[in-house]
Structure 1
Amino acid sequence: MLSGTVLSLVYLAAGIVALYVGAELLVAGAGRLALGVGLRAATVGVTVIAFATTAPELFVSAIGAVNVSTDIGLGAVIGSNIANIGLVLGIAALIKPLQISQTAMRRHVPFMLFAVFLLVVLGVDGTIGALEGAIFLLVLGGFTAYLVHSVNTNPAPAVDDPGAGDGLSLRDVALVLGGLVALVIGSRWLVSGGTGLLSALGVSDLVIGLTVLALGTSLPELAASVIGAVRGETEFAIGNIVGSNIYNILAVLGIVALITPIEIAQSTLRLELPALVVCTAIVVAMMGYGRRLTRLDGAVLVGGYVGFLWLLVP
């Protein structure tokens, strides 16, 4: 019979693997379907790929909020957004400098800033309830409508990849469905293993969400962005992170808040939320300066993320 700690480690590892595999299947299927109907790379990254890689945060946050506490969900979202900026974009830029497209700077990045601003404004009183959740989802609907309008008025050129032009391919639909199943299972395992392990060590639910669960659910973004950087598809890498951070706040917290009110601790208002604001402001400034993220920028981002983790250690 396995001990509780060993069993938690097994669940944790299995959950991370299942989330990674599920997100890879989801990204592959959803991305091909989107390209098949003529979406631009930047738009695919900030919508389909971003939503697909945000699915782990959604499942983990919702399951954690219902079964454990809302600190799990809130910590997973804030921690994942900080990890996306500091760790994922940082590593991607270290691999290869990332060019920032005009589409991303003019259409997508401002919404990421606005989503963070909205979180601070609506969460400053210490609670995100059903009304705030509805506001998040309405803003998300407006963002999606804006992107659809942009795509309709600025259609993308035809895609040469013969595998991406088959419309609603049954194979790609199967990949999406298989990815969703793996994400559901992996989310349950990750929440169970992560909370069991760190709770046994006396770690709070919020720190569990900010560290283990945030890192675990950021693996799909890391995989997608690193693959994009290696292949030179920097629009996918940038769009993936910008879109994921938007969906994490507006979709994940919006849905969780409709399920159950999210209580924000004073420590979160003093440390984690300001850290998210600072990280977002820094990376936007880096993107705007020269329209690229250099390897030096990547090193600064990764170093900042390590410093953030150090501040979390009691």
Structure 2
Amino acid sequence: MILFFAGIIAGLIVLVWSADRFVNGSVATARNLGMSPMMIGLTIVAFGTSAPEMIVSGTAALADSSSLAVGNALGSNIANIALVLGITALVSPIPLKAMVLKREFPVLVAATLAVTVLFLDNHLGVWDGIIMIVILAISMYFLTRNNLDAPELAEEVAEVPETSTPKAIFQLTISLALLLASSKLLVWGASGVARDLSVSELIIGLTIVAIGTSLPELAASVASALKGHHDIALGNIIGSNLFNLLAVLPIPALLNPVTLGREVLLRDYSIMLGLTIFLAASAYLMMKKGYLGRALGGFLLVAYAAYLALLYVSLGV
């Protein structure tokens, strides 16, 4: 048991560290090749911040642990809204941008509602994965077609240090190798803990793995809030959740189709959908105010604690 927990901790540490280096190496390489800051922000940065979830889900699916992969995707989305945004709003109120309200939120809510239909039969198969990827492509089209002026993306890309192409490619290669190795170690540890504690891999994915892979978003959001540059925190979380839903979730569906328990739809997916709609409604109601305040942050944290309590009760301990 100690070895399994050590594997989880070591895997998460290396995973978070290598994910950051992977994004830096990817951005530097693309920038040196002449890609615009906007396209780098919309593609490489967006995919890169979801790299831990994507690689962990792929590793889990190939290790015949698809339920852990599904739990990772859904649990990360729940943690991003209730835990990450909750803590960030408590640190400092989160500004609301008109573009997020007009573009990002409608796309995320529509995509989440669409994917709900795929969960109704409690099975994620190859066609479900293909449909989610198609929805991702449609979502990206709507997000990028009018996004000709996005200074916040340019600022985010500009924060990545200038690096020569050979060094950037070397950093990219090493970080990718570490991502793969650490994700394998994390899945091994998580599966071992699940077996020894007689807990489902789904629960481990929804909690330990989901919180661990959401640490980059939490660290980035809190750091930005402390520096007073957290005006893109909400957009980053929406983007991360969209990729978790439409790029991470299809991985187990395509690599190792899985039949899920009814509780995944009735409990976990429903809570994720409810939090998504609640956050969107709160943002629109507070549009005149111009920010999401500390009261909302406190409520989100209480909601996350209640969700963890619900998972504990479901174990029958």
Which category describes the TM-score, using the shorter chain as reference length? Answer: 0.7 to 0.9
Picking from 187, 192, 197, the partner of 1:196 is 192
Is 1:220 equivalent to 2:219 in the alignment? no
Letter in 1 for 2:243: Y
1:15 Cα offset (Å): 0.4
CA spacing shift, 1:165–1:271, aligned 2, 3 Å: closer
The answer on 1:15 being equivalent to 2:11 is: yes
Give the C-alpha shift of residue 82 in structure 1: 0.2
Opposite residue 197 of structure 1, the aligned amino acid is V
Tell me how far apart the structure 2 counterparts of residues 176 and 111 of structure 1 sit (CA, whole Å).
Answer: 31
Hey, what does 2:308 align to over in structure 1?
Answer: 309
1:255 aligned residue: 251
Question: What amino acid is aligned across from residue 188 of structure 1 in structure 2?
Answer: K
Range that drifts further, 23-32 or 64-73: 23-32
SS of residue paired to 2:112? helix
3-state DSSP of counterpart to 1:154: coil
Assess if the C-alpha contact under 8 Å between 1:51 and 1:243 holds in 2.
no
Match of residue 290, structure 1, among 281, 286, 293: 286
Equivalent residues of 2:27, 2:157 under 8 A apart: no
Amino acid at match of 1:300: F
Summarize the Cα distance change of 1:195–1:235 in structure 2 as closer, same or farther, 3 Å threshold. Answer: same
Aligned equivalents of 1:275, 1:160: Cα separation in 2:
31
Distance 1:276 1:163 in 2: 31
1:114 maps to 2:113: no
Shift of 1:203: 0.6
Residue of structure 2 equivalent to 1:135 = 131
Q: In structure 2, what is the equivalent of residue 209 of structure 1?
A: 205
Residues 300 and 179 (structure 1 numbering): CA distance in 2 closer, same or farther, change over 3 Å?
Answer: farther
Cross-structure match for 1:279: 275
Query: Alpha-carbon deviation of 1:11?
Result: 0.8
Q: Is the 8 A contact 1:37 1:167 kept in 2?
A: no
Question: Would the aligned equivalents of 2:67 and 2:260 in 1 still touch at CA under 8 Å?
Answer: yes
Is 1:267 aligned with 2:267? Answer: no
SS at match of 1:203: coil
Query: 3-state DSSP class of the match of 1:150?
Result: coil
Partner of 2:146: 150
CA contact (8 A) 1:33 1:164 kept: no
Deviations 1:93-151 (A, max 9, x none): 11111112112121211121122112211111111211121111112122223334323
Partner amino acid, structure 1, of 2:265? L
1:70 CA drift (Å)? 1.7
> Taking structure 2 as the reference length, what is the TM-score of the superposition?
0.87
Separation of aligned partners in 1, 2:166 and 2:70: 36
1:93 is the counterpart of 2:89: yes
Decide whether aligned partners of structure 1 residues 302 and 169 sit closer, same or farther in structure 2, where only a CA change above 3 A counts: farther
Aligned residue type for 2:284: G
**Contact 1:126 1:266 survives alignment (8 Å):** yes
Local SS of the residue matching 2:232: helix
Does the 8 Å contact 1:32/1:163 carry over to 2? Answer: no
Q: CA deviation at 1:257?
A: 1.3
Q: Which ranges of structure 2 fall in alignment gaps of 5 or more residues? A: none
One-letter amino acid of the counterpart of residue 300, structure 2 = L
Q: Cα gap change, 1:147/1:290 in structure 2, threshold over 3 Å: closer, same or farther?
A: same
Q: How many Å apart are 1:16 and its aligned residue?
A: 0.8
Percentage identity across paired residues of the two chains: 34
